Amino acid sequence: MKVKKKKALKTKSPKLTSSSTTKVSADQTHNQYRNILGSRYASPAMSAVFSERHRAEIWRDLWIILASEEQKLGLPISSAQVEALKKAKKDIDFDRIREIETKLKHDVMSHLKAYAEKAKEAEPIMHLGATSAFITDNADALLLKEGAVLILQKLGVILESLGSLMLTYKNLETTGFTHFQPAQPVTVGKRFALWAQDLLWDYEELEFALQRLEPLGCKGTTGTQASFAVLFKNDFKKVKALDDGVCKQMGFDRAVALSGQTLSRKVDVWFLQALANLGASFSKMSYDMRLLQHLREVTEPFAEKQIGSSAMPYKQNPMLAERITGLSRFLMGLSSNANWTFATQWLERSLDDSSNRRLTLPEAFLTADALCESAHRLLKGVQVHKTEIKNRIDIYAAQFETEALMMEGTLKGGSRQKIHEEIRQQMLKGKLNKKGIKYSLSGFASEQVQDFHKNILSPFLKSRKKSKGVSFNAAAI
């Protein structure tokens, strides 16, 4: 056994046609790596949630909230100081921040110093009692919430679309497929309903994550609130009031009961698994759509000018469905990070979470958002081809009848097992003919869809607030 020999590889530097440089030029957009989620697939709204500006502004909000709550509870902080913070809030100089960070190598302290430079009066009391995690973790809780709410809103719209589609097509019989071999007929509407059932369950899970989300609050360096014990002279009640008060100002009910330096990294898991599960449902839907598109029974929208293939001009490819398959795979792979991160944390905190979360959390939400965008576009323009559907049913009608015949035979006293074997033999010999039966080939598919819509989907959507103003990104490619 020998490894195929090849000539030695040249390890010269890659000849980059463009010159690389650390200088940020006007054209950096095209000269440096740009994540395609932000530039191509996800909506600007989700991209903004995970922008540097939004994060910086939330950080400043948290410094303001901390100072103002501490003031309320009696610490020597003046209203002028709080006001100074509020006034300087929007004045963010990112170049200055980066300049400081090059020295300190600590991002929260860099933002803090840059903010303090703009709100000099408040400088002595900023961040009082807090550690960096107060800023980063509470901000992340807000971002998780904002991201999740945006996804839920879009998911609500998608479920409404599916609700309409399932009712429209609940009676349209179509060939069922198990093992992707023809099987007893179902209805087109039933398939929309199955996708909806999966997505509704995902909605519940993301909601469950949101309901359980409690921010870090004010826990101090190792979660003991020791700094606040000093500031409030051992008054536990006041410290709890600060802890919950800050969280209420952030829009939550209360702070988490216990923490080390940070919120348990398990909280990330809740969100990333819920998003991964959503991705998996979209993946299942996309596989179904790709197979249906092969059958030409149900197809995704295809624009008149759209080009399927640069070489085969006749092609109409399931591009949206395939994109969904690909992105959901990315999302599912990404989300495993959260549990590995949590599972390997050490004692009150280890910082091996940080760089990973700065990639994983935004990209998971952006990918989930991109999936919602694509799924929405697909469903909005989905085409159902009745002739193609009917033709296929007709081909297999004789086979499809056999189940009803087997049931009728058993009712008349025959052995179910023997009839099964007789039919199988006829089929293998090619002697199976259509006989006509008095029952619907698709059984109660239509009734099931109606029941599901009436008793489960509709009440569910009604109990959630109307998702007014949810906008999908018409301009996306």
Catalytic sites, residue numbers = 179, 309
Site map 83..102 versus a copy of itself, x via CB under 8 A: ---------x-x---x--xx
If DSSP codes are grouped into helix, strand and coil, which group holds residue 347? coil
| Spatial separation of the C-alpha atoms in residues 97 and 257, rounded to whole Å | 33
Query: What tokens does 394 get?
Result: 């007709």
| Spatial separation of the C-alpha atoms in residues 207 and 465, rounded to whole Å | 13
Q: How far is CA 379 from CA 139, 183, 286, 383, 438, in A?
A: 35, 25, 11, 9, 34
Q: Which of 193, 106, 72 is nearest to 445 (CA)?
A: 193
Q: Which of 474, 477, 475, 467 is nearest to 150 (CA)?
A: 467
Asked whether position 190 contacts a copy of itself by CB under 8 A, the answer is yes
One of 124, 168, 386, 391 touching a copy of itself (CB under 8 A): 124
Site map 282..321 versus a copy of itself, x via CB under 8 A: -xx-xxx-xxxxx--------xxxxxxxxxxxxxxxxx--
One of 327, 375, 379, 384 touching a copy of itself (CB under 8 A): 327
The two beta strands, 181-187 and 298-299, are: unpaired
Q: Which is nearer to a copy of itself, 224 or 383 (CB)?
A: 224
> Minimum distance from CB of 180 to a copy of itself (Å)?
4
Site map 128..167 versus a copy of itself, x via CB under 8 A: xxxxx------------xxx-xx-xx--x-----------
Q: Which is nearer to a copy of itself, 146 or 379 (CB)?
A: 146
Residues 6 or more apart whose CB falls under 8 angstroms from that of 465 comprise: none
Asked whether position 186 contacts a copy of itself by CB under 8 A, the answer is yes
* Cβ 191 vs Cβ 384: under 8 Å: no
The 8-class DSSP code of residue 122 comes to: G
Asked whether position 395 contacts a copy of itself by CB under 8 A, the answer is no
* Cβ 442 vs Cβ 186: under 8 Å: yes
Site map 11..50 versus a copy of itself, x via CB under 8 A: xxxx-xxxxxxx----xxxxxxxxxxxx--xx-xxxxxxx
* Cβ 424 vs Cβ 169: under 8 Å: no
> Minimum distance from CB of 431 to a copy of itself (Å)?
11
One of 118, 170, 191, 376 touching a copy of itself (CB under 8 A): 191
* Residues 228 to 247 in contact with a copy of itself, rule: CB under 8 A: 228-231, 234, 236, 239
* Residues 59 to 88 in contact with a copy of itself, rule: CB under 8 A: 61, 75-76
One of 83, 117, 160, 403 touching a copy of itself (CB under 8 A): 403
- Phi then psi for residue 274, to 5 deg, are -60, -40
DSSP β-bridge partners for residue 399 = none
> Minimum distance from CB of 267 to a copy of itself (Å)?
9
Asked whether position 402 contacts a copy of itself by CB under 8 A, the answer is yes
> Minimum distance from CB of 89 to a copy of itself (Å)?
9
| Spatial separation of the C-alpha atoms in residues 184 and 400, rounded to whole Å | 5
Count interface residues toward a copy of itself (CB under 8 A).
248
Asked whether position 469 contacts a copy of itself by CB under 8 A, the answer is yes
If DSSP codes are grouped into helix, strand and coil, which group holds residue 472? coil
Asked whether position 442 contacts a copy of itself by CB under 8 A, the answer is yes
